[in-house]
Amino acid sequence: METHYLPFSELLHSVTTGKPGADKYLGEPFFDYLNADPGRSALFSRAMGDVSAGLRTGIFDDYRLPAGRIVADIGAADGSVLSELLKRDADPQRQGIVFDLPTTVENAEPTLAAAGLTERVEFVAGDFFDAVPSADIYVLSHILHDWDDDSSHRILATIAAAATVGARILIVEGLVPPGDTPHLTKVLDLTMLGVLTGKERTEEEFRSLLDSAGFSLDRTLPTATPYSILEATKR
């Protein structure tokens, strides 16, 4: 109620100014508000982990990670996506990196510990607008939809600066279908309008965004969930 529903009382502000209603309601940008309080940040990470876990149930059932020794989950929140990928991976030598803000990265430690993966994972604090660790595979799960095109380009460009040619990037997001077909992404798009500066995107919009940062979209894998997995390679 406090973080998502009540800011929608300022939806008219969003529509008339193009700025998130949450900024006006909370008095500061949404993520600044969250990260100002460690308890609030931890609560949000758990909540988003629960929501996304339910919606993505089965998304990785038939999925196999591309080749590469180190997998970095960028903006990992509670670490549940990286945990799921490593648990399902056939290669026990694969290593992981949980990367998120200093106020958030510690929220992932209990998740990885419960999965018995602590010895295979490094926890790194930082800001994905500034720099990210070097890895063979980068995972962005429900990250880019939080940000506008310019900010999303900056995130991808930061990853491109750390990645070598041939490195892979996996984007887990919903894809907006054409026409008036009802879809979860269209509800989320309205949420982004009121709370953040981001938006949901079509496959072609993701392709263009990746291309602008030096990545080539290799394939898009639909799943039994509302989400898809987009695989791209650093050129």
Planar angle of CA 29, 105, 32, nearest 5 degrees: 10
Q: Are strands 215-222 and 168-173 parallel, antiparallel or unpaired?
A: unpaired
CB–CB of 106/136 below 8 Å? no
CA 71 to chain centre: 14
Burial call 186-202: b when 16+ CB within 10 Å, e when fewer:
eebbeebbbbbbbbbbe
CB–CB of 21/9 below 8 Å? yes
CB–CB of 193/30 below 8 Å? no
Mind telling me the catalytic residues? Answer: 145
